[in-house]
Structure 1
Amino acid sequence: MWVVNQPDPRARRRDEAAESGGFAELSSSPFRADRDRLVASPFFARLGGVTQVVSAGGSALLHNRLTHSLKVAQVARSIAERIATGDPHGGHTDTAELVGKLGGCDPDVAEAAALGHDLGHPPFGHLGEQVLDRIARHRYGLADGFEGNAQTFRIVTTTEVGGPTPRGLNLTAAVRASLLKYPWARLHRPRPHPSELAVVPRGAAEPAQAPGTGSAKFSAYSTELDELAASRAPFADKVEYWQQTVEASVMDLADDIAYAIHDLQDFHRIGVLQHAEVATELGQWLARRGELAELPDERLEDQHRRPGRSLEHLRRRLHAKDSWITSDDAFADAVARVRAELVDELLGIPFDGSVEAEQATATFSARWTARLVGGVVVTAAPSPRTGHVTLLPAQWHEVQVLKFVHRRFVLLRPDLALHQRGQASLLATLVDALDAWLTDRDEAARLPRRLHDLVELAHAEYRGLAAADPELLVGATGEPVRGADAVRSLARGRAVIDFVASLTDKQAAAMLDAISGRSAQPWSEPSVL
Structure 2
Amino acid sequence: MSGYEDTDRERWAAEPEKLSSRTDFERDRARVLHSASLRRLAAKTQVVSPGSDDFVRNRLTHSLEVAQVGRELGKALGCDPDVVDAACLAHDLGHPPFGHNGEEALDKIAEDIGGFEGNAQTLRLLTRLEAKAAHPDGRPAGLNLTRASLDAATKYPWPRSPAHPRKFGVYADDTDVFGWLRAGARDEQRCLEAQVMDFADDVAYCVHDVEDAIVGGWLEPWRVLDVPSERRRFAELTRSWYVPDVEIDEILETLDRLRHCSFWVDVYDGRRSALAALKDMTSQLIGRFSEDAQRLTHEAYGGGRLTRYAADLCVPRGTRLEVAVLKGLAATYVMTARDRAEAYGDQRALVEELVELLRGRAPEALEPTFREDWKDAPDDDARLRVVVDQVASLTDASAYLLHSRLRT
**What TM-score comes out, normalization by structure 2 length?**
0.88
Separation (CA, whole Å) in 1 of partners of 2:241 and 2:143: 40
Deviation at 1:420, TM superposition (A): 1.2
Partners in 2 of 1:245 and 1:401 — Cα distance? 26
2:175 to 210, 222, 225: 225
| Letter of the structure 2 residue corresponding to residue 357 of structure 1 | A
Q: Following TM superposition, by how much is the alpha carbon of 1:314 offset from its aligned partner in structure 2, in angstroms? A: 4.6
Deviations 1:452-478 (A, max 9, x none): 123135x1xxx4xxxxxxxxxxxxxxx
The equivalent position to 1:372 in structure 2, one of 275, 286, 289, is 289
Of residues 353, 359, 374, the one that matches 1:455 is 374
Once residues 58 and 41 of structure 1 are traced to their aligned partners in structure 2, the CA distance between those partners, rounded to angstroms, is: 25
Structure 1 residues 81 and 174: alpha-carbon distance in aligned structure 2, compared to 1, 3 A threshold: same
Deviation at 1:162, TM superposition (A): 2.8
Distance 1:395 1:307 in 2: 20
Q: Is the 8 A contact 1:454 1:498 kept in 2?
A: no
Q: Is the 8 A contact 2:192 2:312 kept in 1?
A: yes
CA 309–433 in structure 1, closer or farther in 2 if over 3 Å, else same: closer
Point out where structure 2 has 5 or more consecutive residues left out of the alignment. 302-310
List aligned pairs for 1:273-312, cutoff 5 A.
273-280=219-226, 284=228, 307-308=231-232, 310-311=234-235
Counterpart of 2:314 in 1: which secondary structure?
A: strand
Secondary structure in 1 matching 2:51? coil
SS of residue in 2 equivalent to 1:242: coil
Which of the two has higher C-alpha Rg?
A: 1
Counterparts of 1:65 and 1:185 in 2: how far apart (Å)? 25
Sequence identity of aligned pairs in percent? 35
The answer to whether the Cα contact below 8 Å between 1:182 and 1:219 also exists between their aligned partners in 2 is yes
1:37 aligns with 2:11: no
Q: Distance in 2 between matches of 1:417 and 1:316?
A: 19
Structure 1 CA distance for aligned equivalents of residues 77 and 133 of structure 2: 31
Q: 1:108 Cα deviation (Å)?
A: 1.2
Match of 1:113 in 2: 87
Q: SS of 1:396's equivalent? A: helix
Is the contact between residue 77 and residue 110 of structure 1 (CA under 8 Å) also seen in structure 2? yes
Residue matched to 1:500: 391
How far residue 424 of structure 1 moved from its aligned partner, in angstroms, is 1.1
Shift of 1:489: 1.0
- Residues 73 and 115, structure 1, Cα contact 8 Å, conserved in 2: yes
1:158 has 2:128 as partner: yes
Code of the residue aligned with 2:374 in structure 1: it is V
Over the residues paired in the alignment, what is the CA RMSD in angstroms? 2.6
Taking the aligned partners of 1:36 and 1:57, their CA distance within structure 2 comes to 27
Structure having greater relative contact order (Cα 8 Å, sep ≥ 6): 2
Amino acid at match of 2:272: V
How far apart are the structure 2 equivalents of 1:422 and 1:169? 34
C-alpha displacement of 1:337 = 2.3
65-74 vs 268-277, which deviates more? 268-277
Partner residue in 1 for 2:407: 516
- Work out whether residues 258 and 264 of structure 2, in 8 Å CA contact, stay in contact via their aligned partners in 1: no
Matched residues in 1 for 2:233 and 2:57: separation? 30
1:489 is matched with which residue? Answer: 380
User: Cα distance, 1:361 vs. partner?
Assistant: 1.6
Tell me if the contact between 1:257 and 1:372 (Cα under 8 Å) persists in the aligned partners: yes
Unaligned runs of 5+ in 1: 1-5, 85-104, 188-192, 196-203, 205-214, 285-304, 381-386, 439-443, 464-487, 518-529
Equivalent of 2:147, from 154, 173, 189? 173
Residues 48 and 64 in structure 1, CA contact (< 8 A), matched pair in contact too? yes
Counting matched residue pairs gives 388
Indicate how the Cα distance of structure 1 residues 218 and 338 shifts in structure 2: closer, same or farther if over 3 A, else same: same
Q: Which residue of 2 aligns with 1:359?
A: 276
Which shifted more, 389-398 or 331-340?
Answer: 331-340
Letter in 2 for 1:123: P
Amino acid at match of 1:511: L
Aligned to 1:256: 202
Is 2:35 aligned against 1:79?
no
Equivalent runs, 1:183-194 vs 2, <5 Å: 183-187=157-161
